[in-house]
Amino acid sequence: MGVVNVTPDSFSDGGVHFDAGSAIAGARRMLEEGAAIVDVGGESTRPGSEPTPLEAELRRVLPVLEGLEGAPLSIDTVKADVARRALERGAELVNDVTALRGDPAMVGVVAESGAYLCLMHMRGEPRTMQLEPRYDDVVSEVAAFLDERLSFAVDHGVPEERICLDPGIGFGKTLEHNFELIRRLDALLALGRPVLVGFSRKRSLGRLLGDPDATTGTTAASVGVAVAAYERGATILRAHDVREHVEALAAARAVFEPV
């Protein structure tokens, strides 16, 4: 899954794809490089970020979706109105980082459209989520949360086979929590749905490599953790540097499945 943030302030690519033309070109390049789907977002969820008003988010993402008509697209939004307008323009997956807790209308929009859905774990909200996150056991707490959200979605009419689950790397978690979630990914796979991992460029990778003030991680570190997540059973890797991820994953895959 390639990432196109049509935002001025995303933590690693803020501003790069802020005008529709560069966002469209960036998405096309990612698809050529082997992305199976491109996740388009118009609101940053980086730690400390403030919410984006509806009109501004629509102004950012709609021209990009229109320019990419026919391409496999996901919409990264917490707003039902944005999701609905994106689905009308051909998006196939709703990536809601609140896991249907942010906007009460979201579950209905997804259920009625027949779209795919990604449910992600987040502790708190982006503005405050990195203020000393604590868990007794991060893996079982994230698994219990995702299990509950999966039941909620299914009870409200979203077919189970359309849903994938995501531990929410960096959303209310320390460096140790993030790596433990990948180490014990089997506990999330046990919920019976495909798992999406979005570790690309996240600050834990920069901190792991020795910079305590890092706000992003390198491409090489992102690829390393993506391969480790794949090896543990992740099926969707959300990544900014698509070519590097596709090449690394093709090589890793050849180890498991003879070419």
What are the residues binding ligand HH2 (CB under 6 A)? 3, 5, 7, 10-12, 41, 44-46, 76, 95, 97, 118, 120, 166, 168-169, 196, 198, 238
Instruction: List beta partners, residue 231.
Output: none
Q: Cβ(119)–Cβ(150) under 8 Å?
A: yes
Q: How far is the CB of 124 from ligand HH2 (least distance, A)?
A: 15
109: tokens are 């929009």
- In order, the DSSP letters of 37-55 are -EEEESS--STTPPPPPHH
Q: How far is the CB of 196 from ligand HH2 (least distance, A)?
A: 6
Query: Is 238 labeled as catalytic in the residue annotation?
Result: yes
Which residue, 11 or 230, has its beta carbon nearer to ligand HH2? Answer: 11
Which residue, 143 or 196, has its beta carbon nearer to ligand HH2? Answer: 196
Position 101, amino acid: R
Which residue, 89 or 217, has its beta carbon nearer to ligand HH2? Answer: 217
Which residue, 172 or 248, has its beta carbon nearer to ligand HH2? Answer: 172
Query: Is 79 labeled as catalytic in the residue annotation?
Result: no
175: tokens are 């460096």
Shortest Cβ contact with ligand HH2: which residue? 198
Q: How far is the CB of 255 from ligand HH2 (least distance, A)?
A: 25
How many Cα atoms occupy the beta-carbon half-sphere of 201 within 13 Å? 16
Q: How far is the CB of 166 from ligand HH2 (least distance, A)?
A: 4
Q: How far is the CB of 165 from ligand HH2 (least distance, A)?
A: 9
Q: Cβ(248)–Cβ(235) under 8 Å?
A: no
Q: Which helix (H) or strand (E) holds 60?
A: helix 54-67
Give the whole-angstrom CA distance, residue 13 versus residue 30.
Answer: 14
Which residue, 20 or 70, has its beta carbon nearer to ligand HH2? Answer: 20
Beta pairing, strands 38-41 & 2-5: parallel
Give the whole-angstrom CA distance, residue 125 versus residue 66.
Answer: 30
Q: How far is the CB of 95 from ligand HH2 (least distance, A)?
A: 5
The one catalytic residue among 162, 173, 203, 238: 238
Give the whole-angstrom CA distance, residue 103 versus residue 49.
Answer: 18
List the one residue out of 102, 62, 105 whose CA is nearest residue 81: 105
The one catalytic residue among 46, 84, 202, 203: 202
Which residue, 150 or 254, has its beta carbon nearer to ligand HH2? Answer: 150
> Would you give the end-to-end CA distance of the chain in angstroms?
22
**Annotated catalytic sites, by residue?**
202, 238
